[in-house]
Amino acid sequence: MAYVLLRYLHLLAALVFAGALIIENMAIKPVINREDAHNLARVDGICGMAALVIIACGLALWLWVGKPADFYNTNPVFHLKLGLLAILITSAVYPALFFSRHRQTEQEQISVPKAVQLLLRFEIILLLIIPLLAWAMARGIGIPG
């Protein structure tokens, strides 16, 4: 039962993360107003919480319930997936700091650094690749035979 619950939470958190990231990408502009900054900070917070749930459930699935850890440990596709997830999380730090810094701003107009926009786009690209790797892993691709 724990396995099913963790798989469900892992998937649900991934969907919330994807939705929040899509909203951020749709809402970001070179210049945003105070209300947009506040809303983007809230959406980014949801994205961050979903990422924590993804990581917690993923670790539990890897090390506690489900398939034996060796299934994952010896699979290069899994290592690629983890590497891309680490890159995704690292690339989310700068936009998160930007949104957090401007959460309660008094400025009417805020210039958004080009790097924030590019990193959000890059995160979407990684988010398109990671589920494909999860699908391949679940089909046994990458298991040494």
Q: What is the pLDDT of residue 145?
A: 66
Confidence band, pLDDT 50/70/90 cuts, at residue 139: confident
Asked if residue 115 has pLDDT above 90, the reply is yes
Confidence band, pLDDT 50/70/90 cuts, at residue 50: very high
* Closest residue by Cα to residue 31 from 20, 40, 22, 21: 40
For the segment 76-81, the average pLDDT, to the nearest whole number, is 95
Residue 22: C-alpha distances to residues 3, 47, 59, 125 (Å):
28, 10, 25, 11
Task: Give the mean pLDDT of the chain.
Answer: 94
pTM, two decimals, is 0.91
Q: What is the pLDDT of residue 78?
A: 94
Q: What is the pLDDT of residue 111?
A: 97
For the segment 22-40, the average pLDDT, to the nearest whole number, is 96
Q: Give the contacts of 134 (CB within 8 A, at least 6 positions apart).
A: 81
Asked if residue 60 has pLDDT above 90, the reply is yes
Asked if residue 105 has pLDDT above 80, the reply is yes
**Residue percentage of the chain with pLDDT more than 70:** 99
E-strand stretches of the chain = 31-33, 109-111
For the segment 111-140, the average pLDDT, to the nearest whole number, is 95
Q: What is the pLDDT of residue 70?
A: 84
